[in-house]
Chain A
């Protein structure tokens, strides 16, 4: 996106472009679905994890992010779970 376009967008007060929304949505959903090369059990594991978590704390499924990748020659399973804010005594 060129500077001129950004400027025009700014002057018009336009919303984020739909193409960038599409790109972000795709990146999120494909990461959730495991993507290629990821183990086939990933979507099921994610669901099971959410079910277990929900037994203890009401998590928002959208706030459970799972990613399989490689790091320094190891297969790495990354889990990123945002716990809900505790109601009540200010934690």
Chain B
């Protein structure tokens, strides 16, 4: 049975698309046939992060409206087997995302894929609501920062009230907290909310912590999901997230500052 996973946050700029791209790539690298769908109609960006922007011919809305088949619109990833991208429309209106249309396309995707990753737009408008409506599981992407945590709380409330699973009284959406842009050094000196702080406030099981990293910008510059940056903390952290999502035990890593600078900080203040 295919699983629909929404990557959501409420707040913009916290790393939803970066996380969607790496999470979907990670699932595919582990041998699961995976489609990643951009729900940000009008502000398409997943194609850039996945590096397939020049191969977009048809989009999600074309498929919903019957102007193209799913097969025509899905873009096969260049590097990773089992991975396909369904881009958002750049020209249409969000209202083209109807509950019935989205449901129909997701049902068709479920026939062929193991995982369908829905990259939600920011906000709590139509696009975001449609991205989470059919979800079986959710990655709630949160920065250790007040506005992001508040918005995550809000979006968790919406998942628990307005998703299809909530409306039909089915088993609730499986919620996972994904903390991104984490800086252990700033946490240590009391300038940033810690993992424990965010967890205590949101009370959602933690699936991973992605450290703040220059590699994220470099990856987006070149259109390669950052999970491919072998040997870098951020790629390792995303691989751990995928493993945990698949039910494997992985200790949390990258939560402590580099020990190198410790004495310097202590005495050189």
A→B interface (CB under 8 Å): 1, 4-5, 8, 12, 17-20, 22-23, 25-27, 29-30, 33, 35-37, 40
Chain A residues near B266 (CB, 8 Å)?
4, 8
- Nearest 6 pairs between A and B by C-beta? A17-B190, A36-B157, A23-B197, A19-B190, A22-B146, A19-B193
> Complex Cα distance A66/B83, Å?
48
A26 and B194: CB pair below 8 A?
A: no
A26-B150, A37-B160 in contact; A19/B192 too (CB < 8 A)?
A: yes
Quick one: closest A residue to B266, CB to CB? A4
* Chain B contacts for A29, CB-based, 8 A: 150
With A12-B269, A26-B193, A27-B201 known, 9 other A-B pairs at CB within 8 A are A18-B191, A19-B190, A22-B145, A22-B197, A26-B149, A26-B150, A26-B201, A33-B153, A35-B153
Chain B residues whose C-beta falls within 8 Å of the C-beta of A8 in the assembled complex:
266, 269
User: Can you list 9 A-B contacts (CB < 8 A)?
Assistant: A5-B190, A8-B266, A17-B190, A19-B191, A22-B197, A23-B201, A30-B150, A33-B153, A35-B153
Interface residues of B (CB under 8 A from A): 145-146, 149-150, 153, 156-157, 160-161, 187, 189-194, 197, 201, 266, 269
Q: How far is the CB of B156 from chain A (nearest CB, A)?
A: 5
Complex Cα spacing A25 to B54, Å:
45
Chain B residues near A33: list those with CB within 8 A: 153
Q: Which A residues lie within 8 Å of B189 (CB)?
A: 5, 17
Of all chain B residues, which has the CB nearest A36?
B157
In the bound complex, what is the Cα–Cα distance between A48 and B193 (angstroms)? 33
Which residues of chain B have C-beta atoms less than 8 A from A30's C-beta?
150, 153, 201
Least Cβ–Cβ distance between A78 and chain B, in angstroms: 19
Q: How long is the Cα–Cα vector from A4 to B262 in the complex, in angstroms? A: 13
